Amino acid sequence: MAQHQEQHTIDVLLEETRKYPPPPAFVQQANVKDPAIYEEANRDPEQFWARAAEELHWFKRWDKVLEWQAPSAQWFVGGKLNVAYNCLDRHLATARKNKAALIFEGEPGDERVLTYQDLHREVCRFANGLKQLGVGKGDRVNLYMPMIPELVIAMLACARIGAPHSVVFGGFSADALRDRINDAQAKVLVTADGGWRRGGITQLKRAADEALRQCPTIEKCVVVKRTGHLGNDALQPGRDVWWHELVQSQPLECPAEPMEAEDVLYLLYTSGSTGKPKGTVHTTGGYLVGVYATTKWIFDLKEEDTFWCTADIGWVTGHSYVAYGPLANGATSLMYEGTPDYPQRDRWWAIVEKYRVNILYTAPTAIRSFMRWGEEYPMRHDMSSLRLLGTVGEPINPEAWVWYHKAIGGGRCPVVDTWWQTETGHILISPLPGITELKPGSATFAFPGIDADVVDDQGRSVPPGSGGYLVLRRPWPGMLRTIYGDPQRYVNQYWSRFPGVYFTGDGAKRDEEGYIWLLGRVDDVIKVSGHRLSTMEIESALVDHPSVAEAAAIGKGHQVKGEAVVAFVTLKEHIQSSPLLEENLKQHVVHKIGAIARPDDILFTAELPKTRSGKIMRRLLRDIAEGRVLGDTTTLADPGVVQSLKQRYGEEAEA
């Protein structure tokens, strides 16, 4: 991040002095209200996590809580358990047997409620179906699906038989899906004919077919009939099978495979600072303990709650807080298929009212959209059931935080701003709502047992009131264990900048009272509407186009999306720029990655600003896009390039 931008963010945040102590009525009923939890956990973090682990079901108890040889962590060594067993079977002998595990609302308004027993049965049937297709322990299964119960069923079925799943967000393109399937070398793909989105159909099967033309490891493809717009002729004989036909004659029971605590539970691809997405590897025991404990304490989860995490399961937030965290706790988790503005801009609030949602967990970008649409939409509904709100995915500006607290939470609900990453598996920095005095815009403090620090270039803790890099000094149970197929990248990316310490890639500041304020990424990762993208991925997509010689992509501040993609493009000789070409290039990025990566702006330029050694100076491009005073240009090979770009960008922005 450019230094003056960082300074500006710090200054704005420093002006934020409002504080929100936990409301007494909330404290009274809170799961955790004794601040001693922090001290206890810090004294003996392993013991702290072990106590949480004891609340789960183990086929065999662990011999050792943690085996740590930086950067390799093993948690609950020697323990055996099954995630699906913990999310399902464990509850069946209790009053939760007939409790709603999943409440689903489709975009067209259809509803489905699956009790724990229902979910158990469906998971067993699908697990048996997967076995019939030849899936065994250790085989990877790719899931490319809409937000429907079958996605959770498929994940749990994989977990049940010990087949790691790799979910690819349904908004990714065929090319992106293909690359992720091939990297994981998956054996089976589970998809759907389509999903409902803003009244239309997302063509998942069509994209899957395109991807599978170049996925030699895929043997079978299971297709859920969701939209019903495809007939049997859409199935490729020998390869494709309808979900409903696969499960119809399967036995209702399927034994849960006792897994080693360190066996892989799932892969999840995320963008890093190169063009190639990385498959984060999450394992069984530590991950489950981490999501279980954080769900229970941060969301103050109660038996009777309806918990709604609005994230798509294609992202880690959906893995941990739509599926595994709530289900491990025996909670009721709500899933909604569609967009917030269909058929009208009050859809979410209608859902909150209809199901009496108690806990709502969403992203700042959504909150900023609602804020722009106006309070009239939430005001149409009775949202008095809400008692806790959460945010995740990007820094939340204090204005949006305060609006969320008031307009959605009626001023009575604590807001937990939770910081974590695909890599961390579960929340690591967050308030505990019965204890923490909140400051809008701050994720407040590290979760008990987590050692977060803000350090300078040399890895030294910065004094209170200053900024630096956010690092984690101790391993935690849900952390990624490696990058699939690329252990060296794991070491280089996270553990080399400061040896033995996990580097998050985020800038942060700690204030005089020890509160942590996140300032955004310091690398080439950008967050567009909370979705993680790498500038290099977008650049590779652009240079893949036959007209493009060179490209540089950056994230530019955006009022609703947080960041928007802006690309600077140099065309090949004799190619003329035109509005049509600009549109084609945007479309090309959508085709290569998905609609989330579509650049807002493309600026054609004869040259890109480079150092004398040929490195593109993205920092200066960001200054240009943001309309700021240019930072240090002394290392540029040709300072004239940025001056002319700056002038042109300014002119185009005005036009």
CB neighbour list of residue 239: distance below 8 Å, 6 or more residues apart: 212, 218, 219, 220, 221
Answer yes or no whether residue 418 interacts with ligand PRX by CB under 6 A: yes
Q: Angle 5-11-16 (CA atoms, 0-180°, nearest 5)? A: 135
DSSP assigned state of 613 = T
The correct pick among 330, 395, 433, 475 for binding ligand PRX (CB under 6 A) is 395
Piece in contact with ligand PRX (CB under 6 A), picked from 20-28, 184-192, 412-420, 539-547: 412-420
If one asks whether residue 277 binds ligand PRX (CB under 6 A), the answer comes out as no
Q: Which lies closer to ligand PRX via its Cβ, residue 62 or residue 172?
A: 172
Neighbours of 45 (CB within 10 A): 20
Binding part of the chain for ligand PRX, among 7-15, 48-56, 453-461, 500-508 by CB under 6 A, reads 500-508
Kindly report the backbone phi and psi dihedral angles of residue 641, in degrees, each rounded to the nearest multiple of 5, phi listed first: -60, -45
508-547 residues in contact with ligand PRX (CB under 6 A) are 518, 521, 527, 532
The amino acid occupying position 14 is: L
Alpha-carbon span 518 to 575, nearest angstrom: 43
How many Å separate Cα 354 from the centre of its chain? 27
CB of 589 to ligand PRX, least distance (A): 19
**Which runs of E-coded beta strand occur in 38-79?**
64-69, 72-77
Q: Of 549, 550, 534, whose CA–CA distance to 592 is shortest?
A: 534
CB-nearer residue toward ligand PRX: 277 or 340:
277
Among 115, 142, 332, 421, binds ligand PRX (CB under 6 A): 421
The answer to whether the CB of 241 falls within 8 A of the CB of 113 is no
Residue count at the site for ligand PRX (CB under 6 A)?
21
Site membership for ligand PRX, residue 562 (CB under 6 A): no
Give the nearest distance from C-beta 333 to ligand PRX in angstroms: 17
H/E stretch holding 467 reads strand 467-472
Q: Which stretch binds ligand PRX (CB under 6 A): 103-111, 169-177, 416-424, 586-594?
A: 416-424
Q: Does 440 bind ligand PRX (CB under 6 A)?
A: no
**Closest approach of Cβ 311 to ligand PRX, in Å?**
8
User: Which amino acid is it at 382?
Assistant: D
Stretches 73-81, 351-359, 370-378, 503-511: which one binds ligand PRX (CB under 6 A)? 503-511
| Residue 394 interacting with ligand PRX (CB under 6 A) | yes
Q: Of the two residues 270 and 329, which places its CB atom closer to ligand PRX in the complex?
A: 270
Q: Is 478 among the residues that bind ligand PRX (CB under 6 A)?
A: no
Asked if 310 touches ligand PRX (CB under 6 A), the answer is no
Question: Is residue 16 a contact residue for ligand PRX (CB under 6 A)?
Answer: no
Q: Between 227 and 256, how does the x/- string for binding to ligand PRX read (CB under 6 A)? A: ------------------------------
Mapping DSSP to helix (H, G, I), strand (E, B) and coil, where does residue 509 land? strand
362 binds ligand PRX (CB under 6 A): no
φ/ψ (deg, to 5) at 114: -115, 120
Q: Does 419 help bind ligand PRX (rule: CB under 6 A)? A: yes
Cβ count within 10 A of residue 228 = 9
- Least distance to ligand PRX from the beta carbon of 380, Å? 29
Cα 460 versus chain centre, distance: 29
Query: Residue 331 contacts by C-beta under 8 Å, 6 or more apart in sequence?
Result: 295, 301, 303, 305, 307
Radius of gyration of the chain (CA): 24
Using rule CB under 6 A, residue 392 touches ligand PRX: yes
Minimum CB separation of residue 271 from ligand PRX in Å reads 8
> What is the Cα–Cα distance from 598 to 161, expressed in whole angstroms?
38
Q: Where are the beta strands (DSSP E) in 327-449?
A: 332-336, 359-362, 388-392, 415-418
For residue 494, what are its two tokens? 């996270």
Q: Does 144 interact with ligand PRX (rule: CB under 6 A)?
A: no
Alpha carbon 94 to its chain centroid, in Å, reads 32
Nearer to ligand PRX, 277 or 330 (CB): 277
506 touches ligand PRX (CB under 6 A): yes
Q: CB of 197: closest distance to ligand PRX in angstroms?
A: 21
* Position among 9, 295, 317, 605 found at the interface with ligand PRX (CB under 6 A): 317
Give the residue, chosen from 115, 142, 270, 294, that forms a contact with ligand PRX under the rule CB under 6 A.
270
Only one of the segments 158-166, 295-303, 348-356, 389-397 lies at the binding site for ligand PRX (rule: CB under 6 A); that segment is 389-397
420 touching ligand PRX, by CB under 6 A: yes
- For 192-214, the DSSP string reads ES-EEETTEEE-HHHHHHHHHTT
DSSP 606: S
Beta strand segments in 264-348, E = 264-270, 278-283, 306-309, 332-336
CA 418 to chain centre: 12
Q: Tell whether residue 325 is a contact of ligand PRX (CB under 6 A).
A: no
- Residues lying near ligand PRX in the complex (CB under 6 A) are found at 270, 316-317, 392-395, 417-422, 443, 504-506, 518, 521, 527, 532
